[in-house]
């Protein structure tokens, strides 16, 4: 469709002109509203239709499942009755005696034992035949003894041939009842299986009740009209097609007798289903509901063609379409008159708003009405003016803020410090006539140059260390072996950029507040290292310790060398690198103070 439109722009233009979309905002609103009206109405109607179909399927499925559950119970009860008959016979002592491997068949006593066993079987089965669907019973002993009861034409003629049949072997292997609804002779042709070949039967292993030793098998032939009797009053005859499928996938009950013992068409899909009951749609368009009998591996199914199930739903669909069309026409008429009254000021205001894309914020709506459109117009004008003012203020404030922050963060030399330093030089020269005056003056000179320099606020760590070492040199001369400094610095950090004067305040703090009050010689350790692209600087002293809160809130900048306090350094770090960076101070009274400085590695690593 898109390809067709691009290849035929003339057709698209004709359609737009015919509907008047290009020339009339009223028609745009009208057509848009009609689409908005049509789509929900259509969706609701179609959804209602399909919801009714889904509801109908669920109700029919639930009804079928109820009937299948009922029939499942009937089959389970009937099959368990066959099992109970077999169990009762198998636990008869007379029958177990003649089937024992030690039974001596050619003795006189054996004749009476056989007569007694046969009589016990006959007496029981006469009662069983009256209340159940049993046609005949045969017992094949592994010792060659055969017992039977029932009509002679119901008796299986050859026990050796019976043992060669696959379903017989399966029953022996599984050691549980095996129901078979085909001809006992598997060599019979398939055509015979749907007529006289339909022979329901059950085979079960016969064991000694005490030792559980296998003595033989019991073969119960079931009446051919078993399912007809069981489901005579079932609702399945009235609706749907009720089918019973055995564990081999063969149909053992079907309203169409010609389908008996044929492979169930949807057996593969049945085996793929999860759970013991449910429903699905077959390839030929039928709603198939199933119930699985786990003990026997059988399925009960009921199906009905969807076309028959949904034939009355077409009325619902036709009503839905009619309602949609009526609502669409009525809404179109009403909305046409409503849109005519409001389209003019909307068009004017929309034009002004669209012009913002081309003219920027230098636009203004001229509509002065007192209605909602007028209020929207005046609010739009106010918004444009406020945006302009805010942008201007923001630019100015950000510029001033940056200038003031960096200007205020760079302090000047404290005259009090200069006086003390020069006084120290004078007294040392007078008293000691020391030769190290030159070194002290040179260190002080370099400090003065670095403090009053107009260079950028960012310097390398190597340059920062030079400033710190000059400051330490002066303090070492002043305090005369009161402390010493230990450096542990990774060499590849020397060219990394950092903000200016981040170390000196902490060295000054360590000397004045940690080392000076301490008795004996103190140690200041400066450590620098990498840690996941983060520079970590630790300034540690073994002085008397101090109050961390007091350190952070120390405002005695007038007494400091360059007026830069610890809080000042923390703020500059956060301003430059972000809130997650800065300083962390840990101090224990009379033991130590440790300052941790963290900031990311700059591109200055060379």
Residues 178 and 129 in one domain: yes
Q: Which two tokens stand for residue 336?
A: 């046409």
Give residue 7's pLDDT.
Answer: 46
Going by pLDDT thresholds of 50, 70 and 90, the confidence category of residue 540 is very high
Query: 508 in a domain, yes or no?
Result: yes
62 occurs within a structural domain: yes
Report the CATH number that the domain containing residue 113 is assigned in CATH: 3.30.450.20
Q: Mark whether 316 and 369 lie in a shared domain.
A: no
Q: Clarify whether residues 529 and 404 are in a common domain.
A: no
Nearest to 142 by CA among 109, 181, 103: 103
pLDDT of residue 67: 87
Domain of 290 in residue numbering reads as 24-185+196-332
**Same domain (yes/no): 286, 370:** no
Residue 38 lies in a domain: yes
Q: Is 13 a member of any domain?
A: no
CB 564 within 8 A of CB 411: yes
Mark whether 133 and 265 lie in a shared domain.
yes
Do 328 and 386 sit in the same domain of this protein?
no
Rounded to an integer, the average pLDDT of 119-130 is 76
State which of 351, 374, 408 marks the end of a domain. Answer: 408
Q: How many helices (H) and strands (E) does the chain have?
A: 18, 17
Q: Which of 481, 483, 525 is nearest to 503 (CA)?
A: 525
The highest-confidence range among 182-196, 283-297, 314-328, by mean pLDDT, is: 283-297
Phi, psi of 484 (to 5 degrees): -140, 160
Q: Is the pLDDT of residue 531 over 70?
A: yes
Q: Is the pLDDT higher at 2 or at 347? A: 347
Mark whether 98 and 173 lie in a shared domain: yes
Collect all residues with Cβ–Cβ distance below 8 Å to 277 and sequence separation of at least 6.
Answer: 65, 68, 69, 289, 290, 291, 292
Domain shared by 364 and 328, yes or no: no
- Would you say residue 120 lies in a domain? yes
Our count of domains for the chain comes to 3
Residue 338 lies in a domain: no
Residue 450 lies in a domain: no
Query: Taking 80 as the threshold, does the pLDDT of residue 508 lie above it?
Result: yes
Residues 517 and 386 in one domain: no
Of 390, 408, 426, the last residue of a domain is 408
Q: Alpha-carbon Rg of the chain, whole angstroms?
A: 52
In a domain, 11, yes or no: no
* 111 confidence band (pLDDT: 50, 70, 90): confident
Residue 406 has pLDDT above 60, yes or no: no
Within this chain, do residues 43 and 180 fall inside the same structural domain, yes or no? yes
SS3 340: helix
Structural tokens at position 6: 């691009």
CATH code for the domain of 503: 3.30.565.10
Residue after which a domain boundary falls, among 408, 441, 466? 408
- Both tokens assigned to 444: 């002080």
Q: Could you report the per-residue pLDDT of 362-404, keeping only the tens digit for each?
A: 777 777 777 777 888 888 888 888 888 888 888 887 776 666 5
Q: What's the rounded mean pLDDT across residues 584-601?
A: 92
- In 3D space, the residue among 163, 160, 141 whose CA is nearest the CA of residue 215 turns out to be 141
Domain shared by 248 and 376, yes or no: no
- Residue 33 — very low, low, confident or very high, per pLDDT cuts 50/70/90? confident
Using CB atoms within 10 Å of the CB of residue 481, give its burial: 0 to 12 exposed, 13 to 18 middle, 19+ buried.
exposed
Query: Do 369 and 326 sit in the same domain of this protein?
Result: no
| Whole-number Å distance between alpha carbons of 355 and 350 | 9
């Amino acid at each position: 469709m898109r390809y067709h439109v691009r290849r035929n722009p003339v057709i698209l233009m004709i359609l737009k002109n015919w509907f008047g979309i290009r020339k009339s905002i009223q028609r745009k609103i009208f057509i848009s509203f009609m689409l908005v009206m049509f789509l929900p109405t259509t969706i609701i109607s179609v959804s209602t239709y399909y919801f009714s179909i889904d509801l109908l399927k669920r109700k029919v499925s639930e009804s079928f499942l109820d009937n299948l559950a009922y029939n499942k119970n009937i089959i389970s009860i009937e099959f368990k009755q066959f099992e109970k008959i077999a169990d009762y016979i198998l636990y008869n002592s007379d029958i177990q005696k003649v089937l024992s491997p030690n039974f001596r068949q050619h003795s006189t006593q054996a004749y009476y034992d056989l007569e007694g066993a046969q009589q016990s079987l006959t007496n029981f089965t006469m009662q069983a035949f009256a209340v159940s669907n049993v046609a005949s019973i045969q017992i094949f002993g592994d010792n060659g003894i055969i017992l039977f009861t029932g009509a002679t034409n119901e008796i299986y003629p050859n026990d050796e041939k019976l043992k060669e049949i696959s379903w017989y072997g399966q029953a022996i292997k599984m050691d549980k009842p095996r129901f078979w609804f085909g001809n006992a002779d598997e060599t019979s042709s398939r055509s015979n299986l749907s007529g006289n070949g339909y022979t329901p039967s059950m085979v079960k292993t016969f064991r000694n009740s005490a030792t559980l030793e296998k003595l033989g098998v019991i073969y119960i032939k079931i009446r051919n009209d078993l399912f007809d009797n069981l489901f005579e009053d079932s609702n399945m005859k009235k609706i749907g097609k009720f089918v019973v499928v055995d564990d081999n996938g063969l149909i053992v009950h079907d309203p169409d007798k010609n389908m008996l013992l044929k492979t169930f068409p949807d057996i593969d899909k049945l085996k793929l289903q999860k759970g013991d009951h449910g429903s699905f749609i077959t390839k030929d368009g039928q709603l198939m509901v199933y119930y699985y009998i786990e003990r026997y591996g059988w399925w009960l199914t009921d199906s009905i063609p969807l076309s028959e199930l949904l034939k009355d739903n077409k009325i619902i669909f036709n009503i839905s379409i009619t309602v949609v069309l009526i609502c669409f026409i009525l809404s179109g008429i009403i909305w046409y008159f409503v849109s005519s009254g409001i389209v003019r000021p909307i068009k004017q205001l929309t034009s002004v708003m669209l012009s913002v894309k081309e003219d920027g914020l230098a636009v203004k709506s001229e509509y002065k009405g007192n209605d909602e459109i007028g209020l929207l117009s005046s609010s739009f004008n106010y918004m444009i003016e406020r945006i302009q003012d805010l942008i201007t203020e923001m630019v100015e404030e950000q510029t001033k803020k940056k200038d003031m922050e960096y200007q205020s963060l760079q302090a000047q030399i404290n005259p009090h410090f200069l006086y003390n330093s020069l006084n120290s030089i004078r007294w040392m020269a007078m008293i000691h006539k020391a030769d190290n005056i030159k070194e002290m003056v040179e260190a002080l000179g370099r400090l003065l140059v670095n403090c009053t320099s107009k260079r950028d606020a960012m310097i390398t760590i190597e340059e920062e260390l030079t400033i710190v070492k000059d400051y330490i040199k002066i303090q070492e001369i002043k305090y005369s072996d009161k402390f010493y400094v230990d450096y542990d610095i990774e060499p590849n950090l020397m060219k990394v950029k950092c903000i200016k004067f981040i170390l000196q305040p902490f060295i000054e703090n360590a000397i004045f507040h940690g080392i000076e009050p301490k008795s004996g010689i103190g140690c200041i350790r400066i450590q620098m290292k990498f840690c996941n692209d983060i520079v970590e600087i630790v300034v540690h002293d073994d002085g008397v310790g101090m109050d961390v809160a007091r350190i952070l809130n120390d405002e005695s900048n007038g007494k400091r060398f360059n007026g830069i306090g610890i809080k000042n350094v923390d703020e500059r770090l956060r301003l430059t690198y972000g809130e997650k960076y800065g300083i962390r101070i840990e101090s224990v009274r009379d033991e130590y103070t440790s300052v941790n400085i963290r900031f990311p590695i700059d591109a200055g690593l060379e």
